[in-house]
Amino acid sequence: MENQEITIEDVLKNLKVVKTSHREALIRNAYAMAEEAHRGQTRKSGEAYIQHALHTALNIAKMGMRSKTIAAGLLHDVPEDTAVTLETIEEKFGKEVAFMVDGVTKLGKIRLRGTKEELYLENLRKMFFAMASDIRVVIIKLADRTHNMETLSALPPEKQQRIALETMEVFAPIANRLGIGEIKGHLEDLAFKHLDPQNYILITQLQKEKYEQSKQYLDKAVWDLNQDLLKGGIKVEKIFGRTKHPYRLFQKMKKHDMNIEKIYDLIGIRIIVPNISACYETLGIVHNKYRPLVGRIKDYISLPKPNGYQSIHTTIFGPEGKIIEVQIRTSQMDAEAEFGIAAHWIYSEKRHGSLRNFFFRKKEQAVPEKELAWVKQLREWQNELGKDNSEFMEGLKIEFFKNHIFAFTPMGEVIELPEDATPIDFAYKVHSEIGNRTTGAKADGKMVKLDYKIRNGQVIEILTSRDHKKPSRDWARFVRTSLAKSNIERAYRDENK
Ligand code: MN
């Protein structure tokens, strides 16, 4: 469906929550507004702009999100690219939808100020913190990025490279942090294709050949196992052959001298059963049918991976002695592995590359107690809500780093501040000269007092005057940062000398 034209019916068909008339109306109304607002606009690929909004909404629906998030997904480019304002969206769809649309718009506004790639990624990372006071904003952004990656070929080559790199280094790790394995794998593959086309072609070709070679015995193993499981009284919900994500396979092959014969989970079978005891019964039946490889049985059900992943993995000698990996899990585990929950993402995963310390934390580093409190809270909510992850996701408001806020310069640079920081603190953070010359400030375009308390995500504009070279002594009473304080004190200390 990636590059196909879709309609709002496709989005509604993929709704994972119960389709009430209220939810359907909300989604249809959001579509109507987006369609009218974007009418006549086309993308670089030539397709109607509304297709991008629809695909974004479809991706959101597939992740199990509910109607408000889907509505915000449909409207996510409206304030930025059309004549319809955020106020109109709020009037029609309420504060929550408007807040999400605004968050996505702000995320999209960040611009590279320096030329260094690292500075850019740093900014982007902070940006995510700023906007992630509502996790749904990040989900919408991931859905938006997914469609942009799927249609990346329409853009000029340099732009393709920049966006693909950003996807690999920032967006895929974020999806991984959120436990959204399916989106993470998909984004990595799309980025891989643009960043390293030669190896991408090599890997996908190899995979295709291997799959064709092995299709016959894979089909036979699926058939035979299914028969035995039925005889054993297991209610198999799904059983199917699967291949690895190309980028993941490439990473694994690099570890094994690019020798594909050394990869044992190249092709596999996934078996979905109703509950945990059925998982272990299934493992017994699989091993009774096919001999397992020694040392290749992994029980991630009793010992989940740090990001919460649960499943049983075993590698067997299948038909004709061919090696096949078998994964056994419940449908809930399967849904979690693909579309994840945020509760476990606090723990660092092992990651190679430049952003290993992504989100300020070194790998395997212990989590400070203060932050753990809200993780515990999240887990509690999750337990209360039981199995319904979508319910959990929808109500989830994560406040990353409670004592920090992030504000933006009109150029899109991110300024990190303590809570209750004022425009004076902001000005000194930008530059001491700007601090000294401050005469006034605007927050989100409106004039504010100099002791105004900046809110997370606001754009702050500092008004300065050339004649005004000295800070006011009064400022020391209300500034929050030691940086501002010491600058003010220094100005008067120098004078006293
Ligand atoms: Mn977009």
pLDDT digits (tens, 9 = 90+) for 237-287: 999 988 888 999 999 899 888 888 888 778 899 999 999 999 999 999 999
Whole-number Å distance, alpha carbon 412 to ligand 1 midpoint, is 18
Whole-number Å distance, alpha carbon 49 to ligand 1 midpoint, is 9
Residue-wise pLDDT for 340-386, tens only, equals: 543 232 222 222 222 223 333 333 333 333 333 333 444 444 444 44
Within 13 Å, how many C-alpha atoms sit on residue 101's CB side?
Answer: 31
Q: Encoding tokens for residue 80?
A: 């930025």
Whole-number Å distance, alpha carbon 96 to ligand 1 midpoint, is 19
* Rounded Cα–Cα distance for residues 181 and 349 (Å): 13
* Rounded Cα–Cα distance for residues 311 and 276 (Å): 10
Whether residue 101 is found in the same domain as residue 31: yes
Whether residue 291 is found in the same domain as residue 207: yes
Whole-number Å distance, alpha carbon 197 to ligand 1 midpoint, is 25
Does residue 355 form part of some domain? no
| Residue-level pLDDT at 351 | 28
Nearest-CA neighbor of 419 among 133, 38, 18, 6? Answer: 133
* Rounded Cα–Cα distance for residues 119 and 416 (Å): 14
Q: Which residue is associated with the tokens 């469906």?
A: 1
Torsion region of 441: left, alpha or beta (phi above 0 gives left; psi -120 to 50 gives alpha): beta
Cα 243–Cα 247–Cα 252 angle in degrees, nearest 5: 80
* Rounded Cα–Cα distance for residues 145 and 137 (Å): 12
Quote the domain boundaries for residue 409.
404-496
Whole-number Å distance, alpha carbon 406 to ligand 1 midpoint, is 23
Tell which of 166, 195, 224 closes a domain: 195
CB 18 within 8 A of CB 64: no
Whole-number Å distance, alpha carbon 407 to ligand 1 midpoint, is 22
Whether residue 66 is found in the same domain as residue 191: yes
| Residue-level pLDDT at 375 | 38
Tell which of 153, 180, 195 closes a domain: 195
Whole-number Å distance, alpha carbon 396 to ligand 1 midpoint, is 23
Does residue 117 form part of some domain? yes
Whether residue 283 is found in the same domain as residue 329: yes
* Rounded Cα–Cα distance for residues 177 and 171 (Å): 10
What is the total count of domains within the chain?
Answer: 4
The type of residue at 452 is: Y
Whether residue 330 is found in the same domain as residue 447: no
Domain containing residue 311: CATH number = 3.30.460.10
One-letter-per-residue 3-state SS of the chain:
CCCCCCCHHHHHHCCCCCCCHHHHHHHHHHHHHHHHHHCCCECCCCCECHHHHHHHHHHHHHCCCCHHHHHHHHCCCHHHHCCCCHHHHHHHHHHHHHHHHHHHHHHHHCCCCCCCHHHHHHHHHHHHHHHCCCHHHHHHHHHHHHHHHHCHHHCCHHHHHHHHHHHHHHHHHHHHHCCCHHHHHHHHHHHHHHHCHHHHHHHHHHHHHHHHHHHHHHHHHHHHHHHHHHHCCCCCCEEEEEECCHHHHHHHHHHCCCCHHHCCCCEEEEEEECCHHHHHHHHHHHHHHCCECCCCCEECCCCCCCCCCCCEEEEEECHHHCEEEEEEEEHHHHHHHHHCCHHHCCCCCCCCCCCCCHHHCCCCCCCCHHHHHHHHHHHHHHHHHCCCHHHHHHHCCCCCCCCEEEEECCCCCEEEEECCCCHHHHHHHHCHHHHHCEEEEEECCEEECCCCCCCCCCEEEEEECCCCCCCCCCHHHHCCCHHHHHHHHHHHHHHHC
Options 2, 5, 80, 219, the catalytic residue: 80
| Residue-level pLDDT at 348 | 26
Computed from CA positions of residues 132, 136, 140, 143, in that sequence, does the dihedral angle turn out positive or negative? Answer: positive
Does residue 315 form part of some domain? yes
Q: Encoding tokens for residue 10?
A: 């496709």
Does residue 151 form part of some domain? yes
Low-confidence spans in the chain with pLDDT less than 70: 1-3, 109-134, 177-179, 306-308, 339-404, 495-497
CA 393 centroid distance within chain: 13
The type of residue at 356 is: R
Whether residue 328 is found in the same domain as residue 378: no
0.85 surpassed by pTM: no
Whether residue 386 is found in the same domain as residue 487: no
Whole-number Å distance, alpha carbon 57 to ligand 1 midpoint, is 10
Active-site residue, 336 included: no
CB 414 within 8 A of CB 406: yes
Nearest-CA neighbor of 244 among 261, 268, 262? Answer: 268
Whether residue 208 is found in the same domain as residue 59: no
Whether residue 74 is found in the same domain as residue 188: yes
Does residue 179 form part of some domain? yes
Whole-number Å distance, alpha carbon 52 to ligand 1 midpoint, is 7
| Residue-level pLDDT at 110 | 62
Whole-number Å distance, alpha carbon 31 to ligand 1 midpoint, is 14
| Residue-level pLDDT at 355 | 27
Active-site residue, 81 included: yes
Q: Encoding tokens for residue 378?
A: 């999240």
Whole-number Å distance, alpha carbon 365 to ligand 1 midpoint, is 35
* Rounded Cα–Cα distance for residues 202 and 247 (Å): 11
| Residue-level pLDDT at 124 | 62
Whole-number Å distance, alpha carbon 140 to ligand 1 midpoint, is 9
Whether residue 411 is found in the same domain as residue 334: no
Whole-number Å distance, alpha carbon 459 to ligand 1 midpoint, is 21
* Rounded Cα–Cα distance for residues 381 and 402 (Å): 18
Whole-number Å distance, alpha carbon 20 to ligand 1 midpoint, is 27
Whether residue 366 is found in the same domain as residue 259: no
Does residue 231 form part of some domain? yes
Whole-number Å distance, alpha carbon 73 to ligand 1 midpoint, is 9
Options 10, 24, 47, 81, the catalytic residue: 81
Whether residue 145 is found in the same domain as residue 39: yes
Whole-number Å distance, alpha carbon 327 to ligand 1 midpoint, is 36
Which residues have C-beta within 8 Å of that of residue 262, sequence separation ≥ 6? 256
Q: Encoding tokens for residue 235?
A: 């209610």
* Rounded Cα–Cα distance for residues 200 and 457 (Å): 38
The type of residue at 167 is: T
